[in-house]
Amino acid sequence: MIPAVNDKVLENARAALPASVVEFIDKVNQGERPSSHLIAVLHKVQEELGFLPRESMDAVAQLMQVPTAKVTGVASFYHHFSFVPKGKYIISVCTGTACYVKGAEEVIDKFKEELGINLGETTADGLFTLEDTRCLGACALAPVVKVGDDIHASMTADKVPGIIERYMNLAD
Protein backbone atom coordinates (compact mmCIF):
# COMPACT_ATOMS: atom_id res chain seq x y z
CA MET A 1 0.00 0.00 0.00
CA ILE A 2 1.32 3.45 -0.89
CA PRO A 3 0.07 5.83 1.81
CA ALA A 4 0.37 8.96 -0.37
CA VAL A 5 -1.94 7.48 -3.04
CA ASN A 6 -4.31 6.22 -0.41
CA ASP A 7 -4.47 9.62 1.22
CA LYS A 8 -5.22 11.20 -2.15
CA VAL A 9 -8.05 8.72 -2.79
CA LEU A 10 -9.54 9.43 0.63
CA GLU A 11 -9.13 13.15 0.15
CA ASN A 12 -10.99 12.95 -3.17
CA ALA A 13 -13.70 10.81 -1.58
CA ARG A 14 -14.17 13.38 1.18
CA ALA A 15 -14.36 16.18 -1.38
CA ALA A 16 -17.04 14.30 -3.34
CA LEU A 17 -19.50 14.30 -0.43
CA PRO A 18 -21.31 17.06 1.46
CA ALA A 19 -19.48 18.00 4.69
CA SER A 20 -22.35 16.76 6.88
CA VAL A 21 -22.13 13.31 5.29
CA VAL A 22 -18.34 13.16 5.77
CA GLU A 23 -18.84 14.14 9.40
CA PHE A 24 -21.45 11.40 9.85
CA ILE A 25 -19.21 8.77 8.26
CA ASP A 26 -16.28 9.83 10.47
CA LYS A 27 -18.52 9.35 13.48
CA VAL A 28 -19.80 5.89 12.52
CA ASN A 29 -16.29 4.81 11.54
CA GLN A 30 -15.24 5.35 15.13
CA GLY A 31 -17.88 2.95 16.44
CA GLU A 32 -18.29 -0.78 16.10
CA ARG A 33 -19.30 -2.31 12.75
CA PRO A 34 -19.40 0.94 10.74
CA SER A 35 -20.82 -0.89 7.73
CA SER A 36 -24.05 -1.53 9.68
CA HIS A 37 -24.70 2.22 9.26
CA LEU A 38 -24.50 2.10 5.48
CA ILE A 39 -28.26 2.64 4.96
CA ALA A 40 -28.24 5.62 7.33
CA VAL A 41 -25.29 7.10 5.42
CA LEU A 42 -27.09 6.67 2.08
CA HIS A 43 -30.19 8.32 3.54
CA LYS A 44 -28.04 11.26 4.53
CA VAL A 45 -26.52 11.53 1.04
CA GLN A 46 -29.97 11.48 -0.56
CA GLU A 47 -31.28 13.99 1.97
CA GLU A 48 -28.46 16.38 1.05
CA LEU A 49 -28.29 15.85 -2.71
CA GLY A 50 -31.81 14.67 -3.57
CA PHE A 51 -30.49 11.46 -5.11
CA LEU A 52 -27.47 9.14 -5.04
CA PRO A 53 -24.94 10.16 -7.69
CA ARG A 54 -22.53 7.44 -8.79
CA GLU A 55 -19.48 9.34 -7.50
CA SER A 56 -21.07 9.78 -4.09
CA MET A 57 -21.65 6.04 -3.77
CA ASP A 58 -18.01 5.43 -4.75
CA ALA A 59 -16.91 7.94 -2.14
CA VAL A 60 -19.07 6.31 0.56
CA ALA A 61 -17.55 2.92 -0.33
CA GLN A 62 -14.03 4.32 0.01
CA LEU A 63 -14.59 6.17 3.25
CA MET A 64 -16.47 3.26 4.87
CA GLN A 65 -14.06 0.70 3.46
CA VAL A 66 -16.80 -1.44 1.92
CA PRO A 67 -16.96 -2.72 -1.67
CA THR A 68 -18.74 -0.39 -4.10
CA ALA A 69 -20.89 -3.37 -5.15
CA LYS A 70 -22.23 -3.57 -1.61
CA VAL A 71 -23.14 0.13 -1.60
CA THR A 72 -24.93 -0.05 -4.97
CA GLY A 73 -26.56 -3.36 -3.96
CA VAL A 74 -28.03 -1.84 -0.80
CA ALA A 75 -29.09 1.32 -2.63
CA SER A 76 -30.82 -0.66 -5.40
CA PHE A 77 -32.67 -2.87 -2.93
CA TYR A 78 -34.58 -0.01 -1.32
CA HIS A 79 -37.31 1.67 -3.34
CA HIS A 80 -36.67 4.90 -1.42
CA PHE A 81 -33.29 5.54 -3.03
CA SER A 82 -33.02 7.24 -6.38
CA PHE A 83 -30.10 7.21 -8.81
CA VAL A 84 -31.43 10.09 -10.85
CA PRO A 85 -32.16 13.66 -9.77
CA LYS A 86 -35.73 14.23 -8.66
CA GLY A 87 -37.93 17.17 -9.47
CA LYS A 88 -38.27 20.30 -7.37
CA TYR A 89 -41.72 19.04 -6.33
CA ILE A 90 -42.25 15.36 -5.61
CA ILE A 91 -45.88 14.40 -6.15
CA SER A 92 -46.65 11.29 -4.10
CA VAL A 93 -50.06 9.74 -4.73
CA CYS A 94 -51.09 7.43 -1.92
CA THR A 95 -52.12 3.99 -3.16
CA GLY A 96 -52.87 2.56 0.27
CA THR A 97 -56.18 0.70 0.52
CA ALA A 98 -58.39 3.63 1.59
CA CYS A 99 -56.99 5.91 -1.12
CA TYR A 100 -57.03 3.18 -3.73
CA VAL A 101 -60.72 2.36 -3.26
CA LYS A 102 -61.57 6.06 -3.36
CA GLY A 103 -59.96 6.63 -6.75
CA ALA A 104 -56.18 7.04 -6.40
CA GLU A 105 -55.73 5.27 -9.73
CA GLU A 106 -57.71 7.91 -11.64
CA VAL A 107 -55.74 10.64 -9.87
CA ILE A 108 -52.46 9.00 -10.93
CA ASP A 109 -53.71 8.64 -14.52
CA LYS A 110 -54.60 12.33 -14.63
CA PHE A 111 -51.19 13.39 -13.28
CA LYS A 112 -49.54 11.15 -15.90
CA GLU A 113 -51.63 12.69 -18.65
CA GLU A 114 -51.13 16.29 -17.54
CA LEU A 115 -47.39 15.98 -16.87
CA GLY A 116 -46.63 13.59 -19.74
CA ILE A 117 -44.62 11.27 -17.49
CA ASN A 118 -45.03 7.86 -15.87
CA LEU A 119 -44.66 6.91 -12.22
CA GLY A 120 -41.05 7.28 -11.10
CA GLU A 121 -40.26 9.84 -13.81
CA THR A 122 -39.43 13.54 -13.68
CA THR A 123 -40.66 16.21 -16.08
CA ALA A 124 -38.06 17.55 -18.53
CA ASP A 125 -38.09 20.96 -16.82
CA GLY A 126 -37.07 19.27 -13.55
CA LEU A 127 -40.13 20.61 -11.77
CA PHE A 128 -42.16 17.48 -10.95
CA THR A 129 -41.47 13.86 -10.07
CA LEU A 130 -44.48 11.55 -9.92
CA GLU A 131 -44.50 8.69 -7.43
CA ASP A 132 -46.92 6.37 -5.73
CA THR A 133 -46.60 5.78 -2.04
CA ARG A 134 -47.94 3.58 0.72
CA CYS A 135 -50.45 4.84 3.31
CA LEU A 136 -49.58 8.35 4.43
CA GLY A 137 -51.52 7.94 7.66
CA ALA A 138 -54.32 10.30 6.63
CA CYS A 139 -56.87 7.73 5.43
CA ALA A 140 -59.86 9.82 6.58
CA LEU A 141 -58.81 12.36 3.92
CA ALA A 142 -58.57 9.79 1.09
CA PRO A 143 -57.58 9.94 -1.62
CA VAL A 144 -54.50 11.81 -0.52
CA VAL A 145 -51.70 13.37 -2.56
CA LYS A 146 -48.54 14.80 -1.00
CA VAL A 147 -46.63 17.49 -2.87
CA GLY A 148 -43.43 18.41 -1.06
CA ASP A 149 -44.63 18.82 2.53
CA ASP A 150 -48.22 19.71 1.57
CA ILE A 151 -51.07 17.24 1.90
CA HIS A 152 -53.95 17.51 -0.57
CA ALA A 153 -57.07 15.79 0.69
CA SER A 154 -60.08 14.27 -1.09
CA MET A 155 -58.28 14.41 -4.42
CA THR A 156 -60.09 13.88 -7.69
CA ALA A 157 -58.81 13.81 -11.25
CA ASP A 158 -60.52 17.18 -11.78
CA LYS A 159 -58.38 18.83 -9.11
CA VAL A 160 -55.10 17.69 -10.72
CA PRO A 161 -54.61 20.56 -13.24
CA GLY A 162 -55.17 23.16 -10.49
CA ILE A 163 -52.63 21.50 -8.21
CA ILE A 164 -50.03 21.42 -10.98
CA GLU A 165 -50.68 25.04 -11.84
CA ARG A 166 -50.32 26.10 -8.22
CA TYR A 167 -46.80 24.64 -7.96
CA MET A 168 -45.80 25.93 -11.38
CA ASN A 169 -46.71 29.42 -10.19
CA LEU A 170 -44.78 28.93 -6.96
CA ALA A 171 -41.71 27.93 -8.94
CA ASP A 172 -41.76 31.11 -11.05
Q: How far apart are CA 109 and CA 98, in angstroms?
A: 18
156 near ligand FES, judged by CB under 6 A: no
Among 31-39, 54-62, 66-74, 95-103, which window interacts with ligand FES (CB under 6 A)? 95-103
Omega of the bond prior to 53 within 30 degrees of 0, cis? no
Give CA separation, 71 vs 52, 62, 124, 147, 170, in Å: 11, 10, 29, 29, 36
Q: Give ∠ CA 101-105-109 in degrees, rounded to 5.
A: 160
Among 2-10, 21-29, 61-69, 93-101, which window interacts with ligand FES (CB under 6 A)? 93-101
94 near ligand FES, judged by CB under 6 A: yes
Write down the least CB distance from residue 137 to ligand FES, Å. Answer: 6
Q: Which of 36, 65, 76, 97 binds ligand FES (CB under 6 A)?
A: 97
Q: Which of 42, 63, 115, 142 binds ligand FES (CB under 6 A)?
A: 142
Query: Could you say which DSSP state residue 159 is in?
Result: G
